[in-house]
Structure formats: C-alpha cells, structure tokens
Structure 1
Amino acid sequence: MTPSEKKLIRLRQARTLEDLRTSLPRDWRIVERKISGILERGNPQDLAEFTKQTIEHHQDLTVLLSKTLPNSSNYKAYLSRFAQVRMAAFVIKDLSRFAGKNVKSQKLGCIDKFLMGNLLFLDGFRRKPVSMFWFQLIWPMIRQRHMLMPLVEPKGIYCFYSKELITHLAGLIGSRPCLEIAAGDGTLTRFLQDVGVSIIATDSHSWQSSVTYSDSVIKLDARAALRMHKTKVVLCSWPPANNAFERFVFETDHVELYLVIGSRYEFASGNWRDYRRQNNFTVTHDLELSRLVLPPELGCAVYRFERKAA
C-alpha cells in the first residue's frame, strides 16, 4: 500500500475536524478562507450552495480516486481536494447543529426545558458552572439540544463553562491579579471569584441591546482597562472576530499571560491577524481546556498566550 493510499484511509476514518486541520494546515487554510468569505457576506443561500457543492465534490472525488493510479500526480491533487472536502463537511456539520432552523416555529419541550434549566442555569438566563459528570450524563438525553444556542445567543451567551474548566483556569492564574476584558454579563469572572481568584470584569457596555450587564462589570473599554488595571493575567471569552481591541493586550508590557476562550474556527472569534502579527507571546491551543467549554458541538477552543522570556 502506497503512502497516498494510507493517507486516503486516514481521511476516510477521521471522526473530527481536529483530526485533520492540525496535520493538513495548508488544506485547512483554503477551506477556512472559503467559509470565512461565505459568513462575512451573510447570505444563507451561499452556505446552502457550498453545502451542495461539498456533497457533489465528495462523490466526484471518490470516483476519481478509485480510477486513478495512487502514485500519479493527479492522485495527489485529488487527495488534497478530498481532504478539503472532508474538512468542509465537518465545519458544515458544526454550523448546522446550532443554526436554529425553524426554531421560531418550534417549542422547547417541557422535559428538555427542565433538563437544560437544571443542568446549565441557576435561574432565568443566569448561568452556573456545569459539572462535567452531570453534563456527560444528561446532555445526550436532551432531544432538542440543537435549540439551545439559538435561544441563548440573543442574550449574549456564547458558551457554558464547566466546573472543571474554572478549576483549571484558577490554577493557571494562581495568586496573580487578573483582568477580564469584554466580559459581557460577567459570568466567567463571577465563577472565578467564587473559587478565590482575584479578578476584575470590564466591558465597554456596547451590547446593551442583548447583554444584561451586572453592576460588578466595570464600564471600560479594553484599552482603558489595560491602562488602569495593570494585571499580569488577562482573560477574554469569545472576543468578536476581527475585533480592534485585542492588539492592546499584546502591546501592554505588564501582561504575562493572556487566556482566550473562543472558537477553533478563526472566522468565528478573535483577531487572528493580530495573533499572528505579535511576536512577544507564544500561543498554545490547549486541547484539554477546550474540551471543558460547553457544549462540545460548538467547537470551542482555549488559547494560552504566554510572554516569551526576555
């Protein structure tokens, strides 16, 4: 069996996007650019057409690969395109799970509402740290789990935090004072304060139409917050894609550690242009912590930016 044939088998056996994107970064960049363009245009028909093309290309490439010699240059080209199609399929699957199709015409069932409410919330839309044990037990029982994010995103809720995530974040922060920027309703800071972390929540309060800001969330934009609170650790959960404020974190000399909770898809959160431009920090995609951000179908990711030694 040739290396190309072995690669085809690996592509077919891959069960998650993570299995592919790290080993095939060039192909992933191509896919990411295409999907980023679709989402920026904001036309649902473009995504529907891209989905249709992905299915058709998968079928066509399966036939071409079966008819082409494994050692040929054509086979390698088809293999690269097949990898891109497989990656695109995983992204489409993730996007469609929480697309909220016909959510307005559906009603959340009493049982699912009860399970979601007790698992994820204290009261109303006030979140609680979620036990991974109970989440893994109860989440599969919820039939309408695809409705969760379309219901809560208008309230400025983009993910849920497990108890285990909070414990790990507290360990990383340690005794150092911490600043949360773009803190939204202040949920993450509240959880960390409850386990003894010295942390201040700040936000520009520019999303008042959707976010209910707690009195504990100080009204400061990120740049002003970084100047006023000279903490060594900075935290941000779901910074908007291509935002204009994260660059100030990298320009601030006293920051030693910047923790970002967001998406594994670069087009969905964070300013990746500034992430790549900066050269004072090393970045790590922490897979262990990423698995502790819920629900898993969202494709959440935790990134650690650690200042390089002088």
Structure 2
Amino acid sequence: MDKMTLNRMEFFAYHGVYAEENKLGQHYYVDLELLLPLSRAGFGDELTETINYAELYARVRTIVVERTFRLIEALAEHIAQDLLGFYPELQEVLVRVTKPHPPFEIHFAGVSVEIRRSRPVEVYVGLGSNLGERHELLAEAIRLLSEHPRIKLLRQSRLYETEPVGFVEQGKFLNQAAAFATDLPPEELLVELQRVENRLGRVRDKRWGPRTVDLDLLLYGQVELRLPRLTVPHPRLAERAFVLVPLAEIATDDAVPGLSSLSARIEAMPARNEVVPWTR
C-alpha cells in the first residue's frame, strides 16, 4: 500500500495529568504515516484523488489544540480514530505523539507514544462451556468482549448442546459462535480472549477437560496465519461439527479460507446430528 507521511507537526496545547501542564501548556509534536492508494493521484495529478494534507493538518490541529486529554495515549487514539472515520480511502494510520519537554526533573529529551490503527476486520470466535450456568457464562463472555472499545459485536448464533470430545468423562457443552468487528491484531485479540477466559474462572489443568468458558479465535477475516501462539483459521475448525454448525448460522458459505463450502463440509460430517439447538 502507498504511504503518505506528515512529519513533526508542532502544536502548543494543554494536555497532562499534572496541574502545571494544564495551566502552563507545552509543545507537542505529531507525526503521521498513512497507508492509502495513491496511484490515481499520481497518474491524474488531481488533488481530489488523494488526501489534502492541509486539510489533514487542520483536523489534527483541532484535536490537539481545541481538546484536552490527560494522557498522550488518549490524544493519539483520538487522532487515529478521527482520521479513519473521516477518510474512507485510508486503510491504516500510524500516529506518533511526542512531548519534547515533559515537566519533570529527570534526564530525558522527551517522551513519545506511537500507535498503529487500521480498518476493522470481521472475526469469528467459538465459545464453549460445560461448568456452572453455561448459558450465563457464554453471555457474559460476549458482554465482556464487547466492552473493549475496539471490539464490536456483530452477530451471534443460537446455543447448541454437544457431547464432549477427547476427554469424554465430563458434562455436555453449550457451544456458540459470535462475529465481531475489530482492528486489534490477531495476537492482541488472542490476549483479550484469554483475559476474558481467566476472568470467568477458566483453569487449564487438563487438555479438552471441563471449563467454565472456552474462547477460540476461529477466523480473522480471510487471513491465514501460522504463528507460535496462534493458527488461523483454527487448526481443528474443519473437524468439529460443534464449531461448524454454529459458525454456519452467522457466516457466509465461503467464510473459511481453504474450505470451498462450509455447508458442504457440515453435510459430510456424521457428527452434525449430535449438535442440537439448546432449550432451557
């Protein structure tokens, strides 16, 4: 993707945790790196085919100068979200905010934060529970994920009751699939899933054993990943009717990379008849 950068935009503003920062103000530098297609502007030589950097500067200045934040992390986040929301052609933005002269009697030249934000991706999460009030735990897991400012619930399937797999000497599971929109990178999203699991009492003492809640990242758009801690699509997705049946309820037939037809895969699985809608 092509890139536009605006370097070292300088502003005087009143951000900070400490009273003297809000009263006296200080200088800030903002650097931007924007990923967007620029070939039309390159061939046509028309300003309407690109982002007007004078307008871009004015939008950043309004946020930095006319608003007040305690943290430069919050300032950077608001700049990123404003630009992504205003410019539909913008695919990704890097924002660096520097406070060159922080009001501390310590020896460093300045402090910066740098964030990278992109357009949200549709992701699918598989949920399961076979301990406690199973349906309540699944609902709470979805609620906790949705509390994250960068995770938005789009759709969720019905609940399905299924027999345990692997270690069979345990209670039946309730399973569900949910679709979210997020701009979190895959590994950061995995951290959030595990954080919710831990908050709801997940204990990892036996593989395929009983659990209060199990959250699996099934799909991350059409991305295929092989990382040390994460494989997407989920490596056992295509083998599990208790995952595929809820997923098919809320996803398109071609949602799974490498799988030509989600419905055809389900139809070929004998275990599909063991995945039944749950009723109280």
Scaled by the length of structure 1, the TM-score of the pair is: 0.26
Please state which structure has a larger fraction of its residues in helix: 1
Bigger RCO (CA 8 Å, 6+ sep):
2
Scaled by the length of structure 2, the TM-score of the pair is: 0.28
Structure of larger gyration radius: 2
